[in-house]
Amino acid sequence: MASQWIVEYLQWLFLLILLLNLAQRRQYETAARKRLATLYIAAGLILFYAVAHLIQLLEASDWWLLPTAAALVFALTRGESALRAFRLSCRSCGARLSLATIVYQDSNLCSNCRFGQPPEAPGPET
């Protein structure tokens, strides 16, 4: 049963996200938005876990997980929220971001763009 699997393993993912949130706390100046995003994601996972647990208790059908998952994905992806705070590529030049930047930098800019030196554009001295 999918709900049983979720009840068993989702807590580890939840713990991982909370640890990530604690790590982001150290980078408060640059990761405030992403820290809030990880909290939202953790809250969503708790909700999903609660529904899976309820399904187990009531011995209901696993199909109830589908509307819950759909609502969760909708809530976490709409607008400027949660999952959209994390980007894999630079917002300015499209270069692949390092893991530290993905997790800790709200700006979603690679180090070149962050310090005002886009790699494509030559500097004024040339």
Q: Does 55 bind Zn ion (CB under 5 A)?
A: no
Q: Residues 95-114 vs Zn ion: string with x where CB under 5 A?
A: x--------------x--x-
Give the interface segment with Zn ion, choosing from 11-19, 20-28, 62-70, 94-102 (CB under 5 A). Answer: 94-102
CA distances from 89 to 5, 29, 48, 96, 115 (A): 33, 21, 29, 4, 16
Helix (H, G, I), strand (E, B) or coil at 110: coil
- Determine, following the binding rule CB under 5 A, whether residue 90 of this chain makes contact with Zn ion: yes
21 vs 105, beta carbon nearer Zn ion = 105
DSSP 81-105: -GGGG--SB-TTT-PBPPHHHHHH-
Which stretches of the chain bind Zn ion, using CB under 5 A? 90, 92-93, 95, 110, 113
